[in-house]
Structures are given as structure tokens and as C-alpha cells.
């Protein structure tokens, strides 16, 4: 959690060398680790875990959070969030134990959670019915698909449960 200049001074390398090293590490994390750490896993275990907490036929809970960043040189106003600081939005879907099962990162802080969600791969796969296996339960006389839980910022759609 240090600045490029501090690393440059500490190790006697150029700023561009530090930048290249940071990008190589970031790319390695994305290419080699992300798919092993952020994974859906066993859907039935997740559904059973949420059911034990009182949420039947639930495949995950979603929300967005803001990751603080230094203000960029280009379009800086787009990165100022509703709390007044520069950020990027991280959208995360988690299982019943809070483990990441899907993430989306990179939207400017000014962008609303619902817009990030509607433009995510998760949204597209849920709309197409391919993210979770088809698994419906009957509540009263209504068939309920596997759902995601979220806060009021998200849209009300058949596979998304939000408070009302």
C-alpha cells in the first residue's frame, strides 16, 4: 500500500519499471488466481445454506461498494461518488458464507449500482437463465425461480428479490 515513488526510492528502479511490475502482478492475479478464488461452487450447498438462514431458493446476495482511488487525470468528475471521494465500484455476489462467487470491478464511482448490475456479465447470464441451474420451488401457488438477494437500489425482476 505504498506509492510508486516510495518503491522507486526503496529499490533503486525507475517509476516505469514499478508500473510494469504492478501490471504484471495484477494480470497474473486475474489470469491465474481469479477463477480459482471467485467461483460459484456447489449451487445446492449455497441454496441449502441460504435456506437455513430463512431465504429459500436463493443463490447469492449482491451489493456494490466503493474502492477509494486517486483522482484520474481524465474525466475525474466521473469518479467522484455520492460521498464525495474518488472511487471505482466493485459489485460482488456472495454465497451464504460471504465468499465471492462473482465480481465486477472498474466502473467509475459516480455510476449507480443498478447500472453496474444491468451492464454486468452476471445480469446477462441470469437473464438468459444460464448462471444457475433451473431450480424452481412452489411458494403457495406461485413458482419461484432461484433468486439473488439485493438492496432497494437494484431492479425488481423475477429472479431478483429486493425489499419492499
pLDDT tens per residue across span 93-144: 999 999 999 999 889 999 999 999 999 999 999 999 999 988 899 888 988 8
Least reliable range by pLDDT among 36-40, 88-92, 138-142: 36-40
Mean pLDDT, residues 75-92 taken together: 93
Partners of 143 in beta bridges: 138
Residue 1: per-residue pLDDT: 61
Question: Among 11-15, 30-34, 62-66, whose mean pLDDT is lowest?
Answer: 30-34
Are 62 and 149 in contact, with CB atoms under 8 Å apart?
yes
Task: Please give the pLDDT value at position 90.
Answer: 94
Averaged pLDDT, 16-33: 88
> Quick one: pLDDT at residue 78?
93
Range scoring the smallest mean pLDDT among 35-39, 70-74, 130-134, 142-146:
35-39
Distances in whole angstroms, Cα of residue 70 to Cα of each of 1, 23, 38, 141: 13, 17, 26, 52
| pTM > 0.75: yes or no | yes
Give 45's pLDDT tier (boundaries 50, 70, 90): very high
pLDDT computed for residue 164 by the predictor: 73
pLDDT of residue 157 exceeding 80, the answer is yes
Could you tell me the CA-to-CA distances from 107 to 38, 89, 90, 132 in Å, in that order?
Answer: 19, 5, 8, 25
Amino acid at each position: 500500500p505504498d506509492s510508486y515513488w516510495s518503491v522507486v526510492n526503496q529499490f533503486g528502479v525507475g517509476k516505469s519499471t514499478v508500473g510494469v511490475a504492478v501490471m504484471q502482478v495484477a494480470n497474473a492475479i486475474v489470469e491465474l488466481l481469479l477463477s480459482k478464488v471467485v467461483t460459484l461452487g456447489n449451487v445446492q450447498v449455497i441454496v441449502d445454506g441460504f435456506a437455513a438462514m430463512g431465504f429459500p431458493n436463493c443463490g447469492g446476495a449482491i451489493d456494490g461498494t466503493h474502492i477509494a482511488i486517486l483522482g484520474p487525470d481524465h474525466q475525474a468528475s466521473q469518479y467522484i461518488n455520492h460521498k464525495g471521494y474518488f472511487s471505482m465500484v466493485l459489485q460482488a455476489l456472495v454465497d451464504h458464507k460471504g465468499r465471492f462467487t462473482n465480481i465486477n470491478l472498474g466502473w467509475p464511482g459516480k455510476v449507480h449500482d443498478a447500472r453496474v448490475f444491468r451492464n454486468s456479465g452476471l445480469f446477462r447470464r441470469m437473464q438468459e437463465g444460464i448462471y444457475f441451474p433451473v431450480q424452481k420451488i412452489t411458494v403457495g401457488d406461485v413458482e419461484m425461480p432461484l433468486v439473488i438477494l439485493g438492496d432497494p437500489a437494484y431492479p425488481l425482476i423475477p429472479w431478483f428479490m429486493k425489499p419492499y
